[in-house]
Amino acid sequence: MVSDKLTKGPQNAPHRALYHALGLTEEEISKPLVGIVSSYNEIVPGHMNIDKITDAVKMGVAMAGGTPIVFPAIAVCDGIAMGHNGMKYSLVTRDLIADSTEAMTLAHGFDALVMIPNCDKNVPGLLMAAARTNIPTVFVSGGPMLAGRIDGNKTSLSSMFEAVGSYSAGKLSEAKLTEYECKACPTCGSCSGMYTANSMNCLTEALGMGLRGNGTVPAVYSSRIELAKHAGMAVMELVKKDIRPRDIMTKDAFYNALAVDMALGCSTNSMLHIPAIAHECGIEINLDIANDISSKTPNLCHLAPAGRTYMQDLDEAGGVYAVMNELNKKGLIKTDCITVTGKTIGENISGCKNNNPDIIRPIDKPYSETGGIAVLRGNLAPEGSVVKRSAVLPEMLVHEGPARVFDCEEEAQQAILTGKINPGDVVVIRYEGPKGGPGMREMLNPTSAIMGMGLGNSVALITDGRFSGATRGACIGHVSPEAASGGVIGIVKEGDIISINIPANKLELKVPDEEISKRMADFAPRTKELSGYLKRYAALVSSGAKGAVLN
């Protein structure tokens, strides 16, 4: 075992002295040392219960013969960071989490890890760390929030953001807005729709890195505590069998993750994170692969924001395994992939029933024959752009209109809320990409304002930034190359016609090629004065089309 280099022999007596300083007994020091990576904090609702999950994991590890030792990982609440400079620090934490977890793990000679993430960048950051350290690892998240309830209808964070737009349009009273504020997010846990956190936690099951239910069992259910104990026990089995993350996260496993992504209608952020995690495994996942899988994978679920069902509904319907079993009926799952259960995906999903065909559509009655995410290309996005197709109204799948150009999110938000955006417009928000933001802010405020103002069936939005999983509508993000890197989005002018054709995977600036060439020749991207971590991040980050990995 790795820890033998620190715990065995006279030469390691100084190391053992320090273990004794921790209060560890000789018996504990002689067992496999299992790092419990706890993302507990008191600022993120999805993480406030992770102390209980951590205690349960520790018990499971100890019951199975290991010595659990806790160390922390950071996490940002995207909802609290939304709409101000704080959002510049969200995506960038993914790499901080991966780096710090790698450092803690390898510096202290752990034999195995149990990762306890929950929210948006925390899950992919820890998956990246798992790939780097490549010691037996199991994921168990803090679990999703229960949906709120207002006027007999379930609600979530996306309902709250859209309520602000409705209030600004005079469609919602201040009293009703306050009611939303108090009821939209009623429990701890990752926000209750198929947003980024829940998307990534579901994809840990599809990848084979999490036990059944990891993505869907609500945070407040006692079965979440039981799941955590089982995760602690499972990692000890992985130690015995020497099954490691890169044995699990193979090219076929990423194929499964993308197929499940398309079937569930996950957040567009998965198109940033899956390539980045694969990159750490030495596997290239590009946007063309995503479109290929989407073209043959039906969309089976319409969870919020695409529909009116929530994570607790998906859990009751059978969860991720039931979705995978539906996909497997048409051979869309690679069943031979090994998982943290020690069994294959095929063995895991065998017999998993779809308990509610209204929540998980049967494979022969999907919402659509193609997946929930589409990658668009064209002269405006030669490297690609991403849209959550399953959350776009049918009348907006094809749209053409005049550009309304803004060089930051705040300018666009002000224009939307003051009634300056007209039906038919295409809102363009640039200089919000990985390098230009920096940090590739999420645009939930303007996308929610468009919906709340009643413009969702007539206005589109494109950006070199990205979107929250709570975004719905004709919202195209990750436009690459970004403006700060000299992308065509940087030379769009007010009133230029932009054409969006989601079924055809096209995003075009309807300006003559000669004019585009002339503008590009004269174009000098804007720069910003930066300091601290954002300055280093902007200097190292790659395109959103490549997962915004650090070079």
For residues 253 and 179, is the Cβ–Cβ distance under 8 A? Answer: no
For residues 256 and 334, is the Cβ–Cβ distance under 8 A? Answer: yes
The neighbour count for residue 236, using CB atoms within 10 Å, is 24
DSSP 225: H
**H helical segments located in 64-195:** 78-81, 92-108, 122-133, 157-168, 174-183
**Please, which residues have CB within 8 angstroms of residue 169's CB and are 6 or more apart in sequence?**
452, 453, 454
For residues 347 and 308, is the Cβ–Cβ distance under 8 A? Answer: no
The neighbour count for residue 86, using CB atoms within 10 Å, is 15
For residues 333 and 326, is the Cβ–Cβ distance under 8 A? Answer: no
Locate 532 and state its tokens: 């601290």
For residues 313 and 359, is the Cβ–Cβ distance under 8 A? Answer: yes
The neighbour count for residue 289, using CB atoms within 10 Å, is 18
User: Is 350 marked active-site?
Assistant: no
Whole-number Å distance between alpha carbons of 436 and 438: 5
Whole-number Å distance between alpha carbons of 19 and 242: 25
How far is CA 192 from each of CA 166, 218, 219, rounded to the nearest angstrom?
21, 9, 10
Consecutive H or E run containing 153: strand 153-155
Whole-number Å distance between alpha carbons of 106 and 223: 32
> Which one from 39, 156, 468, 480 is the annotated catalytic residue?
468
Ramachandran sector of residue 351 (left: φ over 0; alpha: ψ -120 to 50; beta: rest): left
What amino acid is encoded at 207 in this protein? L
**Please, which residues have CB within 8 angstroms of residue 358's CB and are 6 or more apart in sequence?**
none
Q: How far apart are the first and last CA of the chain?
A: 32
Radius of gyration, CA atoms only, the chain: 23
Whole-number Å distance between alpha carbons of 416 and 335: 47
- Residues annotated catalytic, as ranges: 468
